[in-house]
Structure 1
Amino acid sequence: MTANQQGRDVTRRKVVVVGAGAAAAVGLGGAMAANAFAGEQGRKRGGPAPVPEECYLLTSETTEGPYYIDADKLRRDVTEDREGIPLLLRLKVIDNETCRPVRDAAVDIWHCDAVGVYSGYEDMGNGGGGGGPAPTGPPPGGDLSGPPPGGGHQEPTDDTRYLRGTWRTDRQGFVTFKTVFPGWYLGRCVHIHVKVHVNGEWTDAGYEGGTTCHTGQFFFDEESVLASAVVEPYVSNTDDRTTLDEDTIYDGSGTQGGLLKLRYDKRDIAKGVRASLTVGVDPEATNDGTGTPPQPSASASPSASAS
């Protein structure tokens, strides 16, 4: 690990706090987001205790990829002006040894837009579908077979930050984000990146210090991706699409490997999608995603099966 990578992980960042309006639910997915956010607040006011659940295996660690930006905004609604199918992402972070919720953790998510472009890196394009020339190196994400030449992390090329955000887990370990269904780009299946940070300090300025205990990716089943591909603006993404089975990062272990549980109207996915997953982490570990991720366990459990 380079000194720069250590600095990014150990020091962490001061996350920019945005106004409360950024978390407001708007548009087609508004009702879904409002209900989820209200549910979190209800639990904080003394709602019923959650039903006990079986302990989960560690959720698979993956590479960070080159397009992580260590200065995301503290917000639950990361959509900004991006068009796409509304997606409500609800996660529960637990200690995989004790099954207890990991509260006050900082959870980062980031992903490309409907045509495969990452904010902060619009000049990179997506190999055919978005804002710039086709890249000559590894595809955006850079994680088909390890870091791209010159190191794993690439410095941002612009100031855009859509589809990126950080929020804290509540006392039951839940965190919810409002975003859009991701698109795809050459060489990778549809996915969302995630990091979980613990032992830091929440201040008026944001989140500082701590360590990264999990770096992973969330994946979408083929049925949902095929349904999204015929909806605007996804239909304008002309890049060849890598399927879930063809992807070199997804390890095939179902929910343990980051395969999301999805709910949507099979007749009209454009109405919106609810995605959920329990993420089992080791709060004592350091997994910043800049090295070689651990190999998935050969064993399986009911909680790790695909859904």
Structure 2
Amino acid sequence: MTGTETQGPKHKRNMTRRNVVVAGGAAVAAVGAGGGIAVNAFAGETSKGGDAAGSSTSSGASETCYKLTSETTEGPYYIDADKIRKDITEDREGIPMTLRIKVIDSETCKPIRNAAVDIWHCDALGLYSGYEDLSSGGGGGGTPPSGTPSDVPSGTPTGAPPGGGGGGHEEPTDDKRYLRGTWKTDKSGFVTFKTVFPGWYRGRCVHIHTKVHVNGEWTDAGYEGGNTCHTGQFFFDEESVLASAEVEPYSTSTTERTTLTEDTIYDQSGTTGGLLKLKYQKKNIAKGVVGSITVGVDPEATHEGTDDAVQPGASASASAS
């Protein structure tokens, strides 16, 4: 939970104007109400991580049908939804990944349509677009991880990683925007992104950042108004990360890696904490990964994730998000 959250079953809406600029002047109508794409089953695939459904449902109105998905820090490298698109890959190399997210009201279990969902994450070598000078990517001919690393930090790392940093938002240092995007949920609450499997950097396990914005309006200018009802992160099981580490360019990384159980942001609660359900060919993850998760939110809440806590791998200038 963050210091800026409000608590309780119902909350006063934060109606601070939030304006999404559509890149290249494209009409927001191009977003469409869809978002789901057909996903072919992989032969010999493995399925790891959280249950996409997340929790059993109940028809009883008085019973909770789904737990709220854990809130986390926003991190310093968020850029407010300036790319309205489903395919966020751009020119980044890496294992192709389809990420399918379902957003539901955690009290009623009903899908939330027309929500604006942001995702952003580092590339295969740990770099964030917009912040390449600050983020701590690493690569170039090192020995890839094999098995559980013996040199991973336990708890919060000591010392300053290259390009690390303290809590709080950082202003972008470049105009690159790869591996960032916003799309809206369809009538069933689904939104689908095409991206690449993220890499890792010092102090954090492999993860994807997300925000869910509701109660606003899609206009010709983008998405306006409403409130940010969820700020969280999605996580990857160790088996999938170790498999990715055998594939270029991940295999060239020389950056020390933090495991899922050692990460200080992931709360170890499985799907509720953001653990993805992953499907891929067990012997050939390079062909692609499908990740899915259901995110339970309180649409009346405000969760910006902008507390000032120092994050893992923190130095004095910018935090490892």
TM bracket (short chain): 0.7 to 0.9
Q: Please name the residue that 2:289 is paired with.
A: 273
Structure 1 regions of 5+ residues with no counterpart? 3-7, 24-32, 37-51, 131-135, 143-147, 294-307
Question: What's the CA shift for 1:35?
Answer: 2.0
Which residue type is aligned with residue 277 of structure 2?
K
Q: Please name the residue that 1:41 is paired with.
A: none
**Contact between 1:17 and 1:205, CA under 8 Å: does it hold in 2?**
no
Question: What's the CA shift for 1:10?
Answer: 2.3
Which residue type is aligned with residue 38 of structure 2?
N
Question: What's the CA shift for 1:261?
Answer: 0.2
Q: Distance in 1 between matches of 2:15 and 2:236?
A: 28
Q: Please name the residue that 2:96 is paired with.
A: 86
Shift in CA distance, 286/249, structure 1 to aligned 2, threshold 3 Å: same
Shift in CA distance, 291/124, structure 1 to aligned 2, threshold 3 Å: closer
For 1:235, what is the secondary structure of its paired residue?
helix
Q: Please name the residue that 1:123 is paired with.
A: 133
Q: Per-residue CA shift, 1:186-219, capped at 9, x if unaligned?
A: 0000000000000111011211111100000000
For 1:35, what is the secondary structure of its paired residue?
coil
For 1:192, what is the secondary structure of its paired residue?
strand
**Contact between 2:161 and 2:202, CA under 8 Å: does it hold in 1?**
no
Which residue type is aligned with residue 35 of structure 1?
A
Question: What's the CA shift for 1:240?
Answer: 0.4
Q: Please name the residue that 1:12 is paired with.
A: 18
Question: What's the CA shift for 1:236?
Answer: 1.0
Q: CA RMSD in A?
A: 2.7
The answer to whether structure 1 residue 63 and structure 2 residue 73 are counterparts is: yes
Structure 2 regions of 5+ residues with no counterpart? 5-13, 31-35, 40-54, 58-64, 141-158, 310-321
Q: Distance in 1 between matches of 2:102 and 2:70?
A: 15
Q: Which has the higher contact order (CA 8 A, sep 6+)?
A: 2
Structure 1 length as normaliser, TM-score? Answer: 0.76
Q: Distance in 2 between matches of 1:70 and 1:64?
A: 11
Q: Per-residue CA shift, 1:146-204, capped at 9, x if unaligned?
A: xx1xx510000000000000000001100000000000000000000000000111011
The answer to whether structure 1 residue 232 and structure 2 residue 248 are counterparts is: yes
The answer to whether structure 1 residue 257 and structure 2 residue 260 are counterparts is: no
Shift in CA distance, 182/229, structure 1 to aligned 2, threshold 3 Å: same
Q: Distance in 1 between matches of 2:99 and 2:82?
A: 17
Shift in CA distance, 97/252, structure 1 to aligned 2, threshold 3 Å: same
**Contact between 2:127 and 2:136, CA under 8 Å: does it hold in 1?**
yes
Q: Please name the residue that 1:213 is paired with.
A: 229
Q: Per-residue CA shift, 1:227-274, capped at 9, x if unaligned?
A: 000100101111000000000000000000000000000010000000
Matches within 5 A, 1:195-210: 195-210=211-226
**How many residue pairs get matched?**
252
**Contact between 1:139 and 1:185, CA under 8 Å: does it hold in 2?**
no
80-89 or 63-72, which deviates more: 63-72
The correspondence for 2:264, drawn from 231, 236, 248, is: 248
Q: Distance in 1 between matches of 2:82 and 2:163?
A: 19
The correspondence for 2:38, drawn from 10, 24, 35, is: 35
Shift in CA distance, 9/73, structure 1 to aligned 2, threshold 3 Å: farther
Q: Please name the residue that 2:83 is paired with.
A: 73
- Quick one: percent identity of the two aligned structures? 74
